[in-house]
Structure 1
Amino acid sequence: MSNSLALKETIVSRGQTIDETFSYLHANPEISWQEVETTRYLVERMQALGLKVTTFADCTGLVAEWGEGKPVVGLRTDIDALWQEVDGEWRANHSCGHDAHMTMIVETVEALIASGYQPPGKLKILFQPAEEKGTGALKLVEKGVVDDIDYLYGVHLRPIQEMANGTAGPAIYNGGAMFLYGEITGVSAHGARPHLGVNAIEVAGAIISGIGQIHLNPMVPATVKMTMLQAGGESYNIIPDKARFALDLRAQTNQAMDELIARVRQMIEGIAASYQAQIKLEEGSRMVAAEVDEEAKGLMEQAIVDVLGADNLKPAPVSPGAEDFHYYTVERPRIKATMLALGCDLQPGLHHPHMQFEQSALKDGVGILSRVIVRTFEHAAAKTLG
C-alpha cells in the first residue's frame, strides 16, 4: 500500500478520535499566558507518541520534535482562548478556533505516525501560547526554537463569508494591526470660564477629526479609529483636564503600517501644540502583516488539491484581521511559511461568543496538513538531488 493511501485510510479511521480531541480542548479553554492545563494535556499527547518534548520555565506552550537532521519542517498552532462575555458570564472561550487548530495539529502528527510514515528529516511542532495578545510568536522566536526551521505551516478556520465548508486556500494574507494608548493632560477650569482651561475632551475630538485627514495610498487598505475614550467625572460643570484614549490601527502591508503610525504620531503632536496640551502616547502590541513564501504556498496548493480536488482550491483570502504567526517570517526571513485557510461554514463570525463551524472540516484539515508535510519533505529531497 502506498504511503498516500495508508495516510488517507488512517485519517478516515480517526474520525471519532478527532472529535474527542476537539471536544476536550473546546471544553477546557484557557486565556493567554495561562494555558497551564492545555500545555500539560498537549505534553502528554506528544510524549505518548514518543516525541521529544521541550517546555519552558517562564511561560506556557511547548515544542515537540520527531526525527532528526535536515530539512526541518514546522507545524504551528495557537493554544490560547479569548476572555469574553458568554450568556452574561465572563469566561475563557474558544471563539477564534484555536481549539480546532490544536486538534488538527495533534491529529496530523498522530495520523502520520499511525500510517507508518517516517520523516526524512525533522518535524517540529510548535504549540504557541498567547496569540490573542500578539506576543506568543515573539516569545518562541526569542527562545530560538524556530532558528533551524526551513518550512513552517499553520492553519486558521475561515468565516463563511470568506470560504465555504469543503474548500480551502493556500495562504492567508492577514493585515497588520497595532494599538496606541494615549493620555491627554489639559487644564481644568469652571464650566463658565472655558478660556481658563484646556478641555481634554475637545483635544480628543480634534484627534478624532485629525484621523479623518490621514490619507495613504488608496491601493493599500489602511484604517485608524478611536476605540476607547474616558474623560470627565460626576460634576458636569468642570472642564476636564484628563482623558484616556485608545486607537486601533490596521494596514494590509507592513510598509503601510509604518507610514500610518508615523502619520498618526505627527498628527497628534500637531494637535498637542495647537491646544497647548500634553499628550503621552504608548505603543501596544503590534501584529505584523503576512509575508507569504511562494514555494510554501505552492506546496500547500498541491496538498489541498490532493485532498479536496482542484475545484475546491480557492484563492488565498485577504483579511484585515491580524495573526502573530507572521512574526516568524518577519523575524526569520529564511523560513518559508504559509497558513492553510480552511473553509468550514464558520458563523456568525470569528470572536463571536457563539461561534460555530462544521466539525467535519477538521478531517479535511488533518488530511491537507498531513499531505503538505509529506510533499514538503519530498520536495526538499528533490531539490537536494537536483
Structure 2
Amino acid sequence: MIKERIHTIKPEIMEIFEHLHQHPEVSWKEFQTSDYLTQFLQKNGGRVRTLNHTGIVAEMGEGSPVVAVRADMDALWQEVNGQFQANHSCGHDAHMAMVCGVLLILQKFSSLPPGTVRFLFQPAEEKGTGALKMVEDGVVDDVDYLYGVHLRPELELGDGFAAPAILHGAACFVKGRIRSDDAHGARPHLGANAIEVGATFVSLLNNIHLNPMLPYSVKMTSFHAGGESANIIPGSATFSIDMRSQSNEGMEKLVSKVFEIASSLEKLFGVDIEMETGANVAAAEVHPEAQAFMEKGILNVLGIDALQPPLVSTGGDDFHFYTIKRPHLKATMLGLGCGLAPGLHHPNMTFNKDALLNGVHILSETVLETLKEGKGKRGRQHVD
C-alpha cells in the first residue's frame, strides 16, 4: 500500500528537495529553511511547535508509543567552483525531504496504529551543537523510539542497498594557544620557543596508546608561530588538535591524556597553554530493538539481498547526543545507499535522487512497525 502512495507523492518529494537544495543555510541561520518547513508541516496536518531557534517539532497521532524521526537542516560553508557559499554537500537537504515524505505517507492513512509520530527538524548538526540544544528544549523527553537517516557514499554502500544502523565514531576538536615571551635569536636561554613546545606536543601525542582493538587517532592539524623576522624566537603559537574514537569511553581517555600532556608541557617549558574544546560529537549508541525495527523496514522495501550489516564509520553525527543525554531512547540511524559520489562534503557531491523514495518508504515502514509492535514507557530518569 505504501509503495503505491510513494509514487503519487514523488513529484512533491522532488520539489521539496530541489527547493531546499537551492536555498542552503549554515548552522543556526536556517531561517528560510525553517519557515519553508513550518508552512509545509502546517499545510499537511502536522501540529507544529516552533522553538526559540530555527529547529521545528511537528506531531501527528496521540498516545503511546512516541516515535520520532529526525532530519538535520544545516548546510556547509565551503568553496564551490571558486566561490565560498552555503552548500548542501552532506545530504541534509535529502534528509529533510525524506522526513517530509514520511509525513505525507502517514497523513494519507485513514487510521494509524495508536501512538504519536513526532518529526524533528534539527539545526546545526555540522557544528555538533544542534542535538544538544534540542535535548535541552525537552523535545525527546517523552520519546520512546528515535530514527535518523544519512546518505552514504558509493564506496561505503552501493545504490539500492541500506543498513539498519550507522556506527559513527566520536570526534573532539580542541583549539589551543601557547603563551610566553619572544626572545632574541642569539639568546635562546631567555625564553621558551613555542615551536619546540609544539614539536614536543606532537611527539607526545604520537606516543598516546589505547587498546589497539579500538580504532582511534589523535593528531595536531594546525600550528602557527613566528613571523617574518628570522632572528626572533616566538614565544606564542596557536594550534588545533583532532581526536577520533569508535567509542565514547575511548574518547574520554584521549581527551584526558591530551590535557595531561598540555599540563606537563607547561611545567617543562615554563609556558602557559590554554585549550578550549570546540565541536564534540558522541559515538553511536544503537539500541537493538530500534535496529530490529529498521531491519524490518529495509526488508519490507528492498528485500534480503539489499540489507547490509550496520556500517562502521569514522565520521561523526550529533544525532547520538540524543541517546547519550536521554538513555531511555531506543534509537538508530538508517544508512541509505544512493550512488553518492565523489563523497560527503565534496563541493560537487551528487547522488541518485530516486533513492529518496527508498528512504521515505523504509522510514515509513519502520515507523508503522514501531507503532504496531513498540512499547512506550513512562517515568524515565533523565541524565544531563
**Which TM-score tier does this pair reach, normalised by the shorter chain?**
over 0.9
Report the counterpart of residue 36 of structure 1 in structure 2. 31
- Residue 369 of structure 1: which of 363, 367, 378 is its match? 363
Cα deviation code 1:9-63 (max 9, x no counterpart): 0002222222111111100000000000000000000000121111123x11110
Q: How many residues align?
A: 377
- Residue 162 of structure 1: which of 151, 156, 176 is its match? 156
2:119 maps to 1:125: yes
2:146 maps to 1:152: yes
Distance in 2 of aligned mates of 1:300 and 1:231: 50
Matches within 5 A, 1:303-382: 303-380=297-374
Please tell me whether the aligned partners of residues 67 and 144 of structure 2 are also in contact (alpha carbons under 8 angstroms).
Answer: yes
Tell me which stretches of 4 or more aligned residues in structure 1 moved more than 4 Å.
none
Please tell me whether the aligned partners of residues 104 and 366 of structure 1 are also in contact (alpha carbons under 8 angstroms).
Answer: yes
Look up the SS of the partner of 1:247 in the other structure.
strand
Distance in 2 of aligned mates of 1:52 and 1:363: 24
Look up the SS of the partner of 1:183 in the other structure.
strand
Distance in 2 of aligned mates of 1:256 and 1:382: 32
When normalised by structure 1's length, the TM-score is 0.95
Shift of 1:117: 4.7
Report the counterpart of residue 21 of structure 1 in structure 2. 16
Please tell me whether the aligned partners of residues 177 and 287 of structure 1 are also in contact (alpha carbons under 8 angstroms).
Answer: yes
Distance in 2 of aligned mates of 1:80 and 1:33: 8
When normalised by structure 2's length, the TM-score is 0.96
Distance in 1 of aligned mates of 2:71 and 2:55: 10
**Structure 2, unaligned stretches of length 5 or more?**
378-384
Please tell me whether the aligned partners of residues 64 and 376 of structure 2 are also in contact (alpha carbons under 8 angstroms).
Answer: no
Distance in 2 of aligned mates of 1:60 and 1:18: 22
Distance in 1 of aligned mates of 2:58 and 2:18: 22
Cα deviation code 1:308-346 (max 9, x no counterpart): 000000011101111000011110011100000000111
Identity %: 52
Matches within 5 A, 1:153-302: 153-302=147-296
Distance in 1 of aligned mates of 2:345 and 2:37: 24
Please tell me whether the aligned partners of residues 9 and 104 of structure 2 are also in contact (alpha carbons under 8 angstroms).
Answer: no
1:317 aligned partner, one-letter code: L
2:319 aligned partner, one-letter code: F
Report the counterpart of residue 102 of structure 1 in structure 2. 96
Distance in 2 of aligned mates of 1:274 and 1:161: 46
Distance in 2 of aligned mates of 1:168 and 1:51: 28
Distance in 2 of aligned mates of 1:236 and 1:64: 61
Distance in 2 of aligned mates of 1:117 and 1:91: 44
- Residue 44 of structure 2: which of 49, 55, 59 is its match? 49
Distance in 2 of aligned mates of 1:63 and 1:86: 32
Describe the shift of the 1:282–1:381 C-alpha distance in structure 2 as closer, same or farther (beyond 3 A).
closer
1:50 aligned partner, one-letter code: G
Cα deviation code 1:95-120 (max 9, x no counterpart): 00000000000011102212435241
Distance in 2 of aligned mates of 1:381 and 1:261: 38
Shift of 1:88: 1.0
1:375 aligned partner, one-letter code: E
Please tell me whether the aligned partners of residues 73 and 152 of structure 1 are also in contact (alpha carbons under 8 angstroms).
Answer: yes
- Residue 77 of structure 1: which of 68, 71, 96 is its match? 71
Shift of 1:382: 11
Describe the shift of the 1:131–1:381 C-alpha distance in structure 2 as closer, same or farther (beyond 3 A).
closer
Report the counterpart of residue 382 of structure 2 in structure 1. none
Distance in 2 of aligned mates of 1:382 and 1:151: 9
Structural RMSD (CA): 1.3
